[in-house]
Structure 1
Amino acid sequence: MNTGPDSMEVKLPDSLTSKLGEFEKRLCLMETVGAVSGGLCGMLLTYALMFASDRFWDTPGWLRIPLSLVGGCVFALFALRWTRHWLLRRRNARDLAKLVQKRYRGMGDRLLGVVELADSTIASPNVSPALCRAAIRQVAEESKEYDFRAAVPVRAPRVYAVSLLILLAVALIPLAIFPRAGWNTLLRWVMPFSPVQRFTFVSIEELPDEQVVPHGEDFEVRFKLNKDTWRPARASCRLENQPRIRTRLIDGMGVFEVPGQTSPGVLVVRVGDVTKRMKIIPVLRPELLSMSAEIQPPSYLSRTNETIAIRAGRFEMLDGSHVSLVGVASRSLGQVGWDRVQVDPAQGPGPSAVAEDVDTLSPLAVEGNKFRSPSFSGSAPARCVFAWRDIFRIAGAKPYVLNIETRVDEPPFVECRGIGRAVAMLEDEVLAIEVRAEDDYGISELWVNWSDVGNKERGLPEIDGTSSLSEGGPDTRELMNTFSFSPIALRIPEESMVSLAAYASDYMPGRKPAMSAVYRIYVLSRAKHADLIKNRMEALQGLVEDLAREEEQLLQDNVELSEMPANKMDEMSSGAALKMREKRERLHARQLSNIADRAQELLREALRNTRISESTLGEWSEMINAMRGLSANEMSQASDSLGSAASDPAERSEQLDVAIELEKEILKSLRASERGMNKSIESMLAMNFVNRLMLCASNEGVIGSTLKELLPKIIGMHVEDMPADVAKETVALGLTQETTGREVEYIRDDLSGFYNRTRLAGYDEVRREMDESRVVERMAELADRIERNIVVESITETVTLKEELIAWAAKLRK
């Protein structure tokens, strides 16, 4: 028996080893297929998920990174498992037998046993090698009936492979159809940390990241799709939590009509597989805060340029000026347009005279929130329209329309205040005249001019004078000064009629000075003034006389009523007649009060004349007070009594008697006032003769003194040889003498009438002396001698006439 080492060695037969080798090869193949398929399935699945996700939204980084990591990790797990089984810890015969055992349970157990017997590391030393070899041969013979390759597990690899094919189809078909989308997703999957932009089948053009819209107004969001990309038929958008808005695309263009917004928000636009976000910012429309005009006046005005604010869309400018319009908006502007058209003032521009779309208007230069128009001439009325958009391309609510009116440089307006169109004044009085001139475009000078009216015909010296009041300048819009018209200071004789007017000149070349209204000033002599006062007093006396007659008639009616029998008086129980008489009495009271007011005004006028005596003025004042008291007291009481009698039949008789007694006192007082006024008139009339005679005497003195001054120049000359100015003055003296003669004639005739009225002998005596002295005829002869240049005799005669007139005045004064 062999007891050597070879006799103890137990090996697996070649046939069995070959079958295990075939099993191992097939197992390696299946596990390799499974590992590759499984790893690729993980990668393809995550790639497909990312591809699908990118179609609906821009897969964010927080999701792209996990998808890429999961795909890589799955592939790594399969690869690690295969490496561990086939590279790091490759299976031995025992491991292979265990795998066969899972397929063939009985055969597998015997195969595992013989593999362990052949493994010297685990074989028992008490086991006979021969027996082991015999067992191994027996198992080897039995194994011939089994196909170990069928024991290789193929389900998992097959599942992985089928899944791989399916995923390949899912991934490769879109990749083949949409290669750009597939490669874009692959890049984003491979490089999840890189900023690779998502590919979309739809590409939106002209959709900004934000849009500024009018506050609270509906607006449109317009967009356009790239012509080289997919163009869906519909699109939608949504603003914050508001309802979704849908629209139809036409030729790749769409418009969303979005309701007005008052607060910022994000608008999400969805078109196909693309989603874009746009920030919506509502702002108020740009407003025109102010409009001003920078005006360059015409050169003849010599004025600096001025800037005026425009209100209510209208302003005026001087014809010939140049203007530039400046506007200020509520925020920075991006575009401003304007247009200007001349208009017919009679017809107006009409509703479509100018365009109102900023794109169709002429552009203007813009600087921030300001704009300025070119300078243009204001030679005719015009209508300007301005339209604007801000830097966000939001237009103003409506265009600004400006109507420009032109005005010509009118003459200055000149007026005089403190004077009526016709006034009378005394020689020693001063009339303060407020002279005012106004012109929007400058006043150069203000003055007054006066001249006589008909002095030559009435034998008075001719008058012509000018007084400069103020000088202005191009910027002087108003000149005002007071002109003191004093006949004495201006050497204007009594009884002169003066025409006065104010004048003002502006800067318009070739224009005549502007003139105020013409005012007539009558310089009265004191005698004439007293005569006017007397005439007005006579008019008041007539009113008092009429009132007295009416009061007397009222008294008579009341007396008749009081004497009426009681039974007959009762028939008038209504008291209508007494009520009417009450009204008449109150009317008389008002009339008397009005007469007193007019008398008071006449008294103030009389105070101006020193020729009216103080005693006469005092009598007037007492008379006025008496009339006021009579109106306020007795007449009022009589009216009350008549009213009581009308309303109370029981006391009618008593109240009527009271009224009658009062009316008697009223009538008595009215007659007294009438007599007092008559006395004053006679006194004034008498004094008027004195004043008139003294005035004529003064005229004779002036004529004589003037002739004395002219005597050296004209003595011995014929009228035809005298210098023109001297001849003119001589003729004026002759006319003055003629006028004085006529006045003396009037005095003589008035004396005759006054004597017949008063029967005062002194006035008749003076009249007879005037007739006996032939004063009227002598004055006419004197006027003739003056005109014929008989100077010496004329001087002597003026002295004689002056003395006679003064003497007659002295007699009347006594």
Structure 2
Amino acid sequence: MAAESATVDFTEAVDRRPARGAVGLCAAVLIAVTVVALFSPEAAFNAFERWLQPLAEIERHTFVNLVPLPAQLNVAHGEPFVLSTDVSGDSRWIPSQGRVVLAGQRPITFDVDGRVVGLTVPGQTREVPLTISVGDAQAHTIIRPRHRPALTRLVAHVTLPEYLQRPNVETTVDGSKVRMLESSQVSFEGEVSRILQQGELTLSAATTRTATTAAGTVTTAMTVDGKHFISLPMPAQDLVSCSLTWRDIYGLAPKQARVLKFATVADRKPEVKLLNLARHTAILEDETLEIEVKATDDFGLRHANLVWLAKDGEGKDLGLGETATVVDGGSKETSLTGTFVMSPEFMDLPIPCIVELYAATVDYLPGRQPVTTELYRIDVLSYAQHAEQVRRQFEALLTKLEDLARSEESLLDGKQRLQALSDEDLQTEASTSAMRRQVNQGQTNRKALERTSGTGRELLAEAIRNKQFPTGLLARLAETVSGMQALSQAEMAEIVKSMQAGLKKEGAARRGDLQAAATKEASAVKKLREMVGDMDDSLNDMVARNFILRLRQLGAGEGKIKVALERALPETIGMRTRDLEPELAEQLKKSATQQYELRRESKFVQDDIQGYAIRTGVDAFREIHSEMTEAHIQESLAGLTECIGSNQLVKAIADTDGWAKRFNAWADRLDSSGGRDNEGGGGDSLSAEAMRIMMDLLRIAQQEDALRTQTRATDRLQAGKRQHKARSRRLLDKQLDLLADINVMTADAWSPLLYDLLEEVAHAMDDAGELLERPQTDGETIAAETEVIELLTRACGSFQSQCTSAAAGMLAQMMAQLVKSQGKKPGQGSVAGGESNFAGNAQIDGQPAAGAVGEARSVEKTSGRIDPATIPEEFREAVEQYFRAMEELEK
């Protein structure tokens, strides 16, 4: 079996093809491995290593090597982003294309440019895995979309120049422009929505604004802390624009840098103005004018001042003036408002005089000169001057009344001619035209008389304010003015109606209406002529009263100078003028100036008396003018002025005393020469007496109203100060004078009603006086004075029913208007929390600047229009403004 099998080749019996195939395959694999090992030993070694250690985490070797991507990429939310990587230098193969796969999205094929792999990936809004494939290599990452870091707050920290004395300013920057004061410094602080990694500020343009070379850029890093960044301070004058950018911890920056443009501004001049004051106005000697001063600035004001200077009627400096600090400011005060109270009485101004004033303010800029308003002028009128102006206004009113009387007489003549026509002639076109002209002219005259009565009422209200006008004189004027109003509303209106009724008829039917109109016309003419006569008489009495007042004012002025010289005599006797102490020399100079003003006024009085004597032929005036001429007033008073200036006080005292007595004697002679000042209005004696009482009550109410204004102004002075006490005492004296007037009226009371009313008023005045005596000038005192005015108004109304004259109703309306206007006059009360001072309490900063330059007056009056030709030139413009303001108030 063995021998037999030995001869047989069993291999031939086996199919060798599978074995040869396996060997061939192995040989092929071995050859391939050998080729690969020879071509890329690293790949062979990697494969052999992975084969020997199948469980080990050994990275697969690829022929294309990509630079690995970070584990995650933070990209802008919803915005396309660039994905890039590089093919490493040891790559044996660089394909021409690659592919990006985002989970759940279509693959993106891209071209490979050299060894750089870069492509734009569409914006993503949610986290997504990303795989990039290039050849046999892949890179993986996680895409995390994030919103860009947004600027939530940007603040500019501005360091102001040191001279402003103000803290740093923090300003929120909302737009693209930043305005800063010259010489400031600025830094920026911002906050973004995410923690920051870095921040940069890039300055663009030149280092100075005047550079003409090409602009450059300078980039500086900003300090970052969490979500905040802050830049270094930069001088404002070197800045034109800058850009701010930042990068958060994810490497994201804003889509666009925040660009800021700078504008530097200069420290502007402050502004100052005077409110409630006309450029040229006038007040009476005992009135109070409240002037509101307002100053504004962009950064800060030191103070707001009012500078005033007193001059005589010819513009000569009287040596009286101050710089009053109306309200103090501060480095943070950009608006100042205060009230300067001008009171000629408290300022000890000579009467009359001119006060020139302007407001001034200054800010904190070194070297800046004060900014001022234009120059304002206030004429301070004496009662005599005011009375003369009122008289001249009444003369102008009388002229209008005479013109109306002549026009009405002409209408009466026309009506009488029409009456003389036959019935046939009355119905002709010519007669109809004549009647139509009568109607038109009658309507014109009626309206003119109504306007004239309104002007007369305003003038009467103005005259009542002047306590030098006797009550009887004013009562007669009130009767005349009220008569004008009644005539325009009654007879003259009925005349027009009768003529209009006649025009609607024909022929003989017209005669009845024409007769009625003619009868009423005759009555109207008669009344107008009586009014003209009554007003002419009243004006004559007013002229005499004005001369009496002016002469006594001259006597009082000489008396005041005498008292001042007697006070100075013990300290100046026997001394030469150049050896006097400055204070004494100034006192003599002031007395000499006052004497000069009296001499000047005496010339006006002498000339006016001469003119009146020539015009009227009154003996008393002619005799006094003759005596004034023989006394050589101008030469004597000029010598008296020289005596005062040369310190010859003994002679000067004797002369001033002599002239005071002489002026008063002339006034007494005129006062005793006649006139109807003590007469009341028309009607029965009871009505006339009630009329005088109403007039007295109205005048006292007006004076109480003026006292209340001064009390309110005095209260602005700090209580306890010497000036406050002194002025409270002067207010008390005024209140006591008014109380004395009421007591006199009470003693003469002719009815229980009058007695009770006056007693009630006296008690209220006594209460106000007790408060002023403390001294107390606050709201309690103001309320007490207001109660006095209300009681006087009630008393005036009680007597209206006892007056048969229409003038009583007019006076009652005036009183009611006074009460209605309480607390509503411009300039009264504290304004915007500002302080105020009387000029006598002003802080002195220096002398008023000569020629310095700069809405309605605060003490308004009511009066008629003025005839400029009848006013002294030096006061013409002021008085025109004075009465214009009065008309505005009435409107």
Alpha-carbon deviation of 1:194?
3.3
- Work out whether 1:337 is the aligned partner of 2:337: no
Report what 2:378 is aligned to.
521
Is the partner of 1:450 in helix, strand or coil?
strand
- Work out whether 1:482 is the aligned partner of 2:345: no
CA distance in 2, matches of 1:561, 1:595: 29
* TM score, norm. by length of structure 1: 0.64
Report what 2:139 is aligned to.
276
* TM score, norm. by length of structure 2: 0.60
Report what 1:750 is aligned to.
608
Trace 1:709-788 onto structure 2 (pairs within 5 A).
709-715=567-573, 726=584, 729-730=587-588, 732-754=590-612, 763-764=621-622, 766-771=624-629, 775=633, 778-783=636-641, 785-786=643-644
Structure 1 residues 453 and 558, CA gap change in structure 2 (3 angstroms): same
CA distance in 2, matches of 1:586, 1:178: 130
CA distance in 2, matches of 1:544, 1:412: 53
Percentage of pairs with the same residue: 29
Report what 1:610 is aligned to.
467
Report what 1:96 is aligned to.
none
CA distance in 1, matches of 2:39, 2:549: 135
- Work out whether 1:804 is the aligned partner of 2:666: no
Whether the 8 Å contact between 1:457 and 1:735 is mirrored in structure 2 is no
Which of 186-195 and 329-338 deviates more? Answer: 186-195
Task: For residues 360-397 of structure 1, give each alpha carbon's deviation from its aligned partner in whole angstroms, at most 9, with x where no partner exists.
Answer: 72322222232222223345564333233333343324
Report what 2:733 is aligned to.
none
Report what 2:74 is aligned to.
212
Report what 2:191 is aligned to.
328
- Work out whether 1:687 is the aligned partner of 2:545: yes
Q: 2:241 aligns with which of 383, 395, 415?
A: 383
Whether the 8 Å contact between 1:246 and 1:256 is mirrored in structure 2 is no
Alpha-carbon deviation of 1:237?
3.0
CA distance in 2, matches of 1:665, 1:236: 123
Report what 1:234 is aligned to.
97
Report what 2:59 is aligned to.
197
Structure 1 residues 776 and 226, CA gap change in structure 2 (3 angstroms): same
CA distance in 1, matches of 2:102, 2:431: 100
- Work out whether 1:493 is the aligned partner of 2:356: no
- Work out whether 1:465 is the aligned partner of 2:327: no
Report what 1:31 is aligned to.
none
Structure 1 residues 218 and 716, CA gap change in structure 2 (3 angstroms): same
CA distance in 2, matches of 1:666, 1:227: 132
Whether the 8 Å contact between 1:548 and 1:670 is mirrored in structure 2 is yes
Alpha-carbon deviation of 1:591?
8.4
Alpha-carbon deviation of 1:491?
1.9
Task: For residues 402-426 of structure 1, give each alpha carbon's deviation from its aligned partner in whole angstroms, at most 9, with x where no partner exists.
Answer: 3344445556544444444434223
Report what 1:15 is aligned to.
3
Structure 1 residues 807 and 571, CA gap change in structure 2 (3 angstroms): closer
Trace 1:390-401 onto structure 2 (pairs within 5 A).
390-401=248-259
Alpha-carbon deviation of 1:770?
4.0
Alpha-carbon deviation of 1:681?
5.5
Alpha-carbon deviation of 1:326?
1.8
Q: 1:403 aligns with which of 233, 246, 261?
A: 261
Letter in 1 for 2:197: G
- Work out whether 1:307 is the aligned partner of 2:197: no
Unaligned 5+ residue runs, structure 2? 676-891
Letter in 2 for 1:198: R
Trace 1:342-741 onto structure 2 (pairs within 5 A).
353=215, 355=217, 361-379=219-237, 382-409=240-267, 413-439=271-297, 441-444=299-302, 447-454=305-312, 462-468=319-325, 471-504=328-361, 507-508=364-365, 515=372, 517-535=374-392, 606=463, 608-613=465-470, 684-715=542-573, 726=584, 729-730=587-588, 732-741=590-599
CA distance in 1, matches of 2:141, 2:390: 97
Task: For residues 427-476 of structure 1, give each alpha carbon's deviation from its aligned partner in whole angstroms, at most 9, with x where no partner exists.
Answer: 32333334455455544555544332358976x85213344555555445
CA distance in 2, matches of 1:297, 1:316: 12
- Work out whether 1:222 is the aligned partner of 2:210: no
Report what 1:292 is aligned to.
155
Task: For residues 178-203 of structure 1, give each alpha carbon's deviation from its aligned partner in whole angstroms, at most 9, with x where no partner exists.
Answer: 44445445555665543322333333
Is the partner of 1:204 in helix, strand or coil?
coil
Whether the 8 Å contact between 1:291 and 1:309 is mirrored in structure 2 is yes
Whether the 8 Å contact between 2:74 and 2:146 is mirrored in structure 1 is yes
CA distance in 2, matches of 1:283, 1:331: 11
Alpha-carbon deviation of 1:616?
6.3
Letter in 1 for 2:346: A
Structure 1 residues 17 and 700, CA gap change in structure 2 (3 angstroms): same
CA distance in 2, matches of 1:338, 1:595: 79
CA distance in 2, matches of 1:706, 1:425: 26
Is the partner of 1:463 in helix, strand or coil?
strand
Letter in 2 for 1:328: E
Alpha-carbon deviation of 1:809?
2.7
Letter in 1 for 2:344: P
What is the root-mean-square deviation in Å for CA atoms of aligned residues? 5.4
Letter in 2 for 1:333: L
Whether the 8 Å contact between 1:297 and 1:318 is mirrored in structure 2 is yes
Is the partner of 1:340 in helix, strand or coil?
strand
Is the partner of 1:364 in helix, strand or coil?
strand
Alpha-carbon deviation of 1:587?
9.8
Whether the 8 Å contact between 1:456 and 1:735 is mirrored in structure 2 is no
Task: For residues 1-52 of structure 1, give each alpha carbon's deviation from its aligned partner in whole angstroms, at most 9, with x where no partner exists.
Answer: xxxxxxxxxxxx3334546xx7xxxxxxxxxxxxxxxxxxxxxxxxxxxxxx
Structure 1 residues 264 and 534, CA gap change in structure 2 (3 angstroms): farther
Which of 229-238 and 785-794 deviates more? Answer: 785-794
Structure 1 residues 417 and 193, CA gap change in structure 2 (3 angstroms): farther
Unaligned 5+ residue runs, structure 1? 1-12, 23-146
Alpha-carbon deviation of 1:649?
13
Letter in 2 for 1:399: A
Whether the 8 Å contact between 1:317 and 1:404 is mirrored in structure 2 is yes
Letter in 2 for 1:227: G
Whether the 8 Å contact between 1:380 and 1:406 is mirrored in structure 2 is no
Letter in 2 for 1:15: A
CA distance in 2, matches of 1:383, 1:614: 79
Structure 1 residues 727 and 17, CA gap change in structure 2 (3 angstroms): closer
Whether the 8 Å contact between 2:224 and 2:230 is mirrored in structure 1 is yes
Which of 700-709 and 410-419 deviates more? Answer: 410-419
Structure 1 residues 420 and 779, CA gap change in structure 2 (3 angstroms): same
CA distance in 2, matches of 1:273, 1:640: 122
Task: For residues 321-352 of structure 1, give each alpha carbon's deviation from its aligned partner in whole angstroms, at most 9, with x where no partner exists.
Answer: 443322223333333322336779998999x8
Alpha-carbon deviation of 1:292?
2.1
Alpha-carbon deviation of 1:701?
0.9
Structure 1 residues 394 and 550, CA gap change in structure 2 (3 angstroms): farther
Alpha-carbon deviation of 1:538?
5.4
CA distance in 2, matches of 1:430, 1:491: 13
Report what 1:255 is aligned to.
118
CA distance in 1, matches of 2:436, 2:181: 72
